[in-house]
Structure 1
């Protein structure tokens, strides 16, 4: 698979799936949770409450690992493993950029003081579980 084909497959998965797991480091151990992801190109965003453990975790260690794309249809489901660095953003511009009506059950609106955005810059993306059974690495 060449780089262009790999990038197209990565974008296809990011376009079709919003739910994945985000792992951060808590007390020197990995800690995972399901999150909703939005993307712009290969850059990822996720909304969260500023008082969550993950926000505390990221202040200590900003390294994250994301799994996204698995359909549970069988052993041939392609998915992404994404390594990256996350920053907690509270700017109005960033909150407006990510805000959508799906966030209403958790936040009063884009100006809710508890609403923050995880701004995730991938450092490496691996396409997994392709028919050739080889991980395909997209280095950023």
Structure 2
């Protein structure tokens, strides 16, 4: 499978996936939590508060991992594992674009200064659990 075909397969798997697991590094160990993700051409954005533990972890070590795609239909579901680098993105355009009323539980609105996004630039996306095939790597 060439890189373009692999990219298309990755996009297909994650196209309807907004919930995944974000892992950051805390005291040299993985620290994972469920997050909401938005995908723009394989750049991932996840809303968060500026003053959270995960933000402190990422300031110390921006290396992160994301897992998306498992649909809970069984052990044969394909999924992706994304390794990349996270940065804090405070773009008002981004905050407005992805604002959801459910966020009102944590933020005062899209202008809340504590409402920010983690932007994850993938370096490698691994496609896993494809009909018993070996994992495939999309290098970005």
Q: TM-score, normalised by structure 1?
A: 0.93
Query: How far apart are residue 132 of structure 1 and its match?
Result: 3.7
Q: Distance in 2 between matches of 1:113 and 1:97?
A: 16
Query: Is the partner of 1:110 in helix, strand or coil?
Result: coil
**1:110-139 alpha-carbon deviations (Å, 9 max, x no partner):** 101110110110000000000142101000
Do the aligned partners of residues 137 and 55 (structure 1) sit closer, same or farther apart at CA in structure 2, a change above 3 Å counting? Answer: same
Q: Distance in 1 between matches of 2:21 and 2:88?
A: 17
1:8 is aligned to: 8
Q: Distance in 2 between matches of 1:100 and 1:3?
A: 34
2:59 is aligned to: 59
2:130 is aligned to: 130
Q: Distance in 1 between matches of 2:114 and 2:13?
A: 30
Give the unaligned 5+ runs of structure 1.
none
After superposing on structure 2, the runs of 4+ consecutive aligned residues of structure 1 that deviate more than 3 Å are none
**1:51-103 alpha-carbon deviations (Å, 9 max, x no partner):** 11100000000000111111121121000000000001223233224323342
Give the unaligned 5+ runs of structure 2.
none
Q: Distance in 2 between matches of 1:102 and 1:14?
A: 22
Q: Distance in 1 between matches of 2:44 and 2:12?
A: 14
1:87 is aligned to: 87
Structure 1 residue 110 and structure 2 residue 110: aligned? Answer: yes
Query: How far apart are residue 2 of structure 1 and its match?
Result: 2.5
Q: TM-score, normalised by structure 2?
A: 0.93
Aligned pairs for 1:17-32 within 5 A: 17-32=17-32
**Count of paired positions:** 140
> What is the CA RMSD across the aligned residues, in angstroms?
1.3
2:76 is aligned to: 76
2:34 is aligned to: 34
